């Protein structure tokens, strides 16, 4: 059995949907959970205290970016990621597999690892399963990820199979790295849009007895129907007593569908990225706050929202900040959007508990029918 202090408890289950808790060395949080993205040891535009006040108990950072800058040695010397960024909650680091894929032809991938040049200074970099895990150990996140080979969409089944097999090989090698009990190493299921590849990947990784499992390589352009079908079928082959993490997914409808099909953890840049572009999420739909009609609207971004922005500022003021190019606009919209996502997760958990899942699904489908980039 994997030696880790991470504890996952499933408290209630209805069909595939389930409610639980995850406890790490830095606290406990309820699942299903949404994790704000703090790629470079910061959630853009906001202070750690602001993030905590939105109800967020765990955030995600990225080993690839922190490895390149400031360097994992600098983070370790500061006392680890939590002290470095002054975050009191739990943390998770992605291994860098998705970022390596995004380099396209600029990266060379073999069974040994991935070779590429830094996007910062052009220096040569080599990432292997061992390098990635050791970097994350130094960073000190509570949950760390195996290095995986993520493929784009569309891709041939032959290429997807090769990447899936390589991801399993890398997971086996990642297990050889000494990981402290305070950290939990998760395996990542790959296989693109082929259910049989996903099944093979999930079963192979389950035999390695990781403390948790992620479904990677989705939300990269595949049809919505394929996306949901892969999530539904893959969950069936993952251990029931381990947390399941759907990587890089955060559209409101996707959070509902994923949660109702047994996913426990999600992350996405959607709330923060949309905030920087002047968009606010509400339960009545998305708002483009730059719109002229909000210039004389002195109500909150959303009636009934309890976030700092909605309690103390108006749509008219936030629009003024946007038009004037003031950075406070991004801060206020980010606070609101992060709180919206946590309120959505609260509603999802409540619907699972009360058996009102279908009502919630329809209400979100009406205002957020398509996945946004």
**Class of residue 169 by CB neighbours under 10 A (exposed 0-12, middle 13-18, buried 19+):** middle
Q: Indicate whether 287 and 245 sit together in one domain.
A: no
The catalytic position among 5, 50, 94, 111 is 94
DSSP letter string, 213-270: EEE-S-SSS--HHHHHHHHHHHHTTS-TTS-EEETT---HHHHHHHHHTT--EEEESH
Res. 372: pLDDT tops 90? no
Q: Which domain holds residue 191?
A: 7-268
Q: Indicate whether 122 and 255 sit together in one domain.
A: yes
**Average pLDDT of the segment spanning 167-193:** 98
**Average pLDDT of the segment spanning 24-35:** 98
- In whole angstroms, what is the distance from residue 169 CA to residue 100 CA? 17
**Average pLDDT of the segment spanning 9-24:** 97
Last residue of a domain, one of 226, 252, 268: 268
**The pLDDT of residue 105:** 78
Last residue of a domain, one of 231, 250, 268: 268
- In whole angstroms, what is the distance from residue 218 CA to residue 206 CA? 19
Last residue of a domain, one of 248, 268, 288: 268
Confidence of residue 187 (pLDDT cuts 50, 70, 90): very high
**The pLDDT of residue 371:** 54
The catalytic position among 5, 138, 267, 306 is 267
Q: Indicate whether 186 and 309 sit together in one domain.
A: no
Does 373 map to a domain?
Answer: no
**Average pLDDT of the segment spanning 217-233:** 96
Task: Name the E strands within the chain.
Answer: 7-14, 17-24, 27-31, 33-36, 58-62, 90-94, 108-110, 113-117, 124-127, 143-145, 184-189, 212-215, 244-246, 265-268, 279-280, 287-288
Whether 248 contacts 150, CB under 8 Å: no
267 catalytically annotated: yes
- Range from 1-5, 246-250, 272-276 carrying the lowest mean pLDDT: 1-5
- In whole angstroms, what is the distance from residue 131 CA to residue 117 CA? 16
Q: Indicate whether 264 and 361 sit together in one domain.
A: no
**Average pLDDT of the segment spanning 227-248:** 98
**Average pLDDT of the segment spanning 12-22:** 97
Res. 147: pLDDT tops 80? yes
Beta bridge partners of residue 215, listed in sequence order: 189, 246
Token pair for residue 201? 């990947």
Beta bridge partners of residue 23, listed in sequence order: 7, 28
Q: Indicate whether 146 and 191 sit together in one domain.
A: yes
**Average pLDDT of the segment spanning 291-313:** 98
Number of domains in the chain: 2
**The pLDDT of residue 373:** 39
The CATH number assigned to the domain holding 53 equals 3.20.20.105
**Average pLDDT of the segment spanning 24-42:** 98
**Average pLDDT of the segment spanning 103-123:** 91
Whether 133 contacts 179, CB under 8 Å: yes
Q: Indicate whether 79 and 201 sit together in one domain.
A: yes
178 catalytically annotated: no
**The pLDDT of residue 239:** 98
**The pLDDT of residue 14:** 94
- In whole angstroms, what is the distance from residue 28 CA to residue 154 CA? 38
**The pLDDT of residue 2:** 63
Res. 25: pLDDT tops 90? yes
Does 151 map to a domain?
Answer: yes
Does 226 map to a domain?
Answer: yes
Read off the pTM: 0.97
**3-class secondary-structure state, position 18:** strand
- Preceding omega of 298 cis (within 30 degrees of 0): no
Q: Indicate whether 161 and 280 sit together in one domain.
A: no
Does 113 map to a domain?
Answer: yes
Confidence of residue 355 (pLDDT cuts 50, 70, 90): very high
Question: pLDDT tens for residues 44-69?
Answer: 999 999 999 999 999 999 999 999 99
């Amino acid at each position: 059995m994997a030696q880790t202090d991470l504890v996952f408890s499933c408290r209630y289950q209805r069909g595939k949907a389930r409610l639980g808790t995850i406890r790490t060395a830095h606290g406990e949080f309820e699942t299903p959970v949404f994790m704000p993205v703090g790629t470079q040891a910061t959630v853009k535009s906001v202070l750690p205290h602001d993030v905590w006040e939105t109800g967020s108990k765990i955030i995600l950072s990225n080993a690839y970016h922190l490895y390149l800058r400031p360097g994992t040695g600098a983070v370790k010397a500061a006392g680890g990621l939590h002290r470095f960024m002054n975050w009191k909650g739990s943390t998770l680091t992605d291994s860098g597999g998705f970022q390596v894929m995004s380099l396209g032809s600029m990266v060379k991938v073999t069974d040994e690892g991935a070779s590429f040049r830094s996007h910062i200074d052009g220096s040569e970099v080599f990432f292997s399963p061992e390098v990635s895990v050791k970097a994350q150990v130094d960073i000190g996140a509570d949950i760390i990820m195996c290095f995986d080979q993520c493929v784009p969409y569309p891709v041939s089944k032959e290429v997807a199979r090769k990447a899936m097999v390589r991801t399993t090989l890398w997971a086996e090698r990642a297990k050889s790295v000494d990981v402290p009990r305070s950290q939990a190493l998760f395996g990542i299921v790959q296989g693109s849009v082929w259910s049989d590849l996903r099944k093979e990947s999930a079963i192979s990784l389950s035999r390695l007895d990781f403390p948790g499992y992620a479904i990677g390589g989705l939300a990269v352009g595949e049809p919505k129907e394929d996306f949901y079908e892969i999530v539904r079928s893959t969950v069936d082959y993952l251990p029931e007593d381990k947390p399941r993490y759907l990587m890089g997914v955060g559209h409101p409808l996707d959070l509902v569908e994923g949660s109702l099909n047994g996913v426990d953890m999600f992350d996405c840049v959607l709330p923060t990225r949309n905030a920087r572009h002047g968009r606010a999420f509400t339960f009545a739909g998305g708002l483009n706050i730059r719109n002229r009609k909000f210039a004389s609207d002195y109500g909150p971004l959303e009636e009934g929202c309890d976030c700092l922005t909605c309690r103390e500022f108006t749509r008219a003021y936030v629009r003024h900040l946007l038009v004037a190019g003031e950075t406070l606009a991004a801060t206020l919209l980010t606070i609101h959007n992060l709180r919206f996502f946590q309120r959505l997760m609260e509603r999802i958990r409540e619907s699972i508990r009360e058996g009102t899942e279908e009502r919630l699904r329809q209400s979100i489908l009406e205002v957020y029918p398509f996945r946004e980039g």
